[in-house]
Amino acid sequence: MKLAVISCIHGNYEALNAVLSDIDAQKADQIYCLGDLVGYGPYPNEVVDRIRSLEIPTCQGCWDEDIVEGLNACECSYPSQLAEQRGKLAHEWTNTEIRPDVREYLATLPLSLKRDNLCFVHGSPNSQHEYLLPSMDGFAALERVLSTDADVLFCGHTHVPYVRELADTKLSVTVKSPAQTEGSQQFQAELKRIINAGSVGEPRHGRPNATYVLYDTETTQVTLREVAYDYTKTCLAILEKGLPAIFAWRLARGMEFAERADDPSHVCER
């Protein structure tokens, strides 16, 4: 089967529709969504309605959790006080905009999904808020995949797509109990993969194009797709609805945020 994996839509209805059209053109058999349906963008209800109407299996993202559990449920830090103020404004606007049935739907979303040897999460198997960056220590990255009992781990949250093969992270671990004086047990990990789908509605890879992933379950081929769309419509809607103007600025440039944190691995800048 050909699977399409999307993530981090963030209320960007224009981008979602463009990606869904591209997925249809690529003749994907099934779509999976890695969460963050809301936040930043101007159309949270419309995005959720579209995902629900298509019955797309979806994980709960960190923004989805915050709308259900309350602001800063993850207790993440911001790169600056200004960014924190913008995050609170965006949360308050989204929290007011969301319909009750949409909030209830977000509360029902699972933290992970499994399909054969594939696992789907928002951030990592540990948390919706943990960043699986491509620079993560190989041992730690491999542990995240092994903890799911899967060969391929699909994630989002970073808004930057990548494929990481843990082929060179073969471990030979010596395990000894206190009673053992000689000998050991050997453990060797087979090839594992982490595939980040990037972001449909808030790309941060340096271009405004939406991104998603195609995965062939038979050949294991991975294709990172970029989809151009009229992002100016979303930018204008952001301004018209009173959301922070910086959200339109960075959406048009495919930027992460105006102020970069010294250590982005712990930052959840909403």
Q: How do residues 216-244 score in pLDDT, each as one tens digit?
A: 999 999 999 999 999 999 999 999 999 99
Q: How do residues 42-76 score in pLDDT, each as one tens digit?
A: 999 999 999 999 999 999 999 999 999 886 655 55
pLDDT of residue 36 exceeding 80, the answer is yes
Q: How do residues 80-100 score in pLDDT, each as one tens digit?
A: 677 778 888 889 999 999 999
pTM as predicted? 0.87
Question: Of 8, 16, 5, 4, which Cα lies nearest the Cα of 159?
Answer: 8
Residues 123-139, mean pLDDT to the nearest whole number: 91
Query: Residues 201, 41: contact at Cβ < 8 Å?
Result: yes
Rounded to the nearest 5 degrees, what angle is found at the Cα of 146, between the Cα atoms of 149 and 162? Answer: 110
Q: Name the pLDDT band for 177 (thresholds 50, 70, 90).
A: very low
| 135, containing H or E segment | none
Phi and psi torsions of 235, nearest 5°: -60, -45
What does the alpha-carbon distance between residue 137 and residue 60 come to, in Å, rounded to a whole number?
25
pLDDT of residue 116 exceeding 70, the answer is yes
Which pLDDT score is estimated for 73?
Answer: 53
Q: Which domains does the chain have, with CATH numbers?
A: 2-253 (3.60.21.10)
